[in-house]
Structure 1
Amino acid sequence: MNLEPSDITLLSILQKNGQATAQELGDALHLSASQASRRRQRLEGAGFIQGYRARLDPTKLGLSVQAFVQVQLDSHGPEQGNSFLRLMRTRAEITSVWTMTGEADYLLRVWCPDLSALNRLIHDVLLAHPVVGRVHSQIVMDQPKEDAPLPVY
């Protein structure tokens, strides 16, 4: 499906404000609210829009430590990787997991209430897993640019 200029505008608006009304979208696109609503539904149906979420303030939730954790497995195979990924899905403090090229096999983004909780996650959960060989963590000091919307062309 090719994106038209109005589709690109609509996607850009929705990334910044997922609660934009059909009327607001229509006004921005110079379309009627019903036309804008149909265009949104078409993009949802085509899979361009995967869902809508609220952005929460981690500090208000008591999450003061954000870290990126690189994990290197001792052995590589489908069983080992699946075992590790099953663990990742059970841990709420691990908010993202990426497979990587290079020295680390996985990069984890984690949020913890304090350094003690991060330490427990690393030592009691990650390093305790039988396939994990090495863990390297980096604590986020500041985030001068927040997670941004995807570029839409």
Structure 2
Amino acid sequence: MDAFDLKIINTLQKDARLTNQEIGDLIGLSASQTSRRRQILEKEGIILGYNARINQRALDLKVTAMIHVNLHTHDAKSQLAFQELIAREERIHDAFTLSGDADFILKVVSESLEHLSDFISEKLLSSNLVGNVKSYIVLKTLKEQRHCMLSPKTKPSKSTI
């Protein structure tokens, strides 16, 4: 991976709707070179996909919560079963395994506090996997970034060229 690959990634993170020609114009490559490099970045799994950021409130999703979850047991079977529960649940937007006081932290969006409460009791606490749940209601989002800026000093683990 070289500086042009990093520029392609940075440009796509800012606006994934740009054409190869537009990206090429911005970074100093032809559309065909940009396209070739982009395809390699996708094939090697560096670019995982493209998506749209959505205004949650426009979809009547007014409550965001961060939920710390501790499992009853920490064996591999319980971990896998809980990860499968996470994967099936659309209200969970982001999920992370942690070190420290919680096993997992979930970012959950919901229509209301009542719906959030129902989700916690019906999906999480009713599961025989979950031992403890702590929820934190997000009052205001101060920063939400869906990309990481890469510099030429970044040392990617894979070579695309």
- Whether contact under 8 Å (1:65, 1:113) holds in the other structure is yes
The share of aligned pairs that are identical, in percent, is 37
Q: 1:112-127 residue pairs with structure 2 within 5 A? A: 112-127=110-125
Match of 2:88 in 1: 90
SS in structure 2 of the partner of residue 66 of structure 1: strand
Superposition CA RMSD, Å: 1.2
Q: Deviations over 1:72-126 (max 9, x none)?
A: 1121112222222222222110112111101111111101011001111111221
SS in structure 2 of the partner of residue 96 of structure 1: strand
Match of 1:57 in 2: 55
CA distance in 1, matches of 2:127, 2:45: 36
1:105 counterpart letter in structure 2:
D
Structure 1: 5+ residue stretches without partners:
none
Greater displacement, 32-41 / 80-89 = 80-89
Q: 1:46 to 1:90 in 2, by over 3 A?
A: closer
- Whether contact under 8 Å (1:64, 1:114) holds in the other structure is yes
CA distance in 2, matches of 1:119, 1:29: 48
- Whether contact under 8 Å (1:63, 1:111) holds in the other structure is yes
Q: 1:130-149 residue pairs with structure 2 within 5 A? A: 130-149=128-147
SS in structure 2 of the partner of residue 89 of structure 1: helix
2:108 counterpart letter in structure 1:
V
SS in structure 2 of the partner of residue 59 of structure 1: helix
CA distance in 1, matches of 2:143, 2:99: 25
Q: Does 1:100 align with 2:104?
A: no
Match of 2:78 in 1: 80
Match of 1:37 in 2: 35
Match of 2:159 in 1: none
- Whether contact under 8 Å (1:29, 1:36) holds in the other structure is no
Structure 2: 5+ residue stretches without partners:
152-161
Q: 1:62-73 residue pairs with structure 2 within 5 A? A: 62-73=60-71
CA distance in 2, matches of 1:136, 1:65: 16
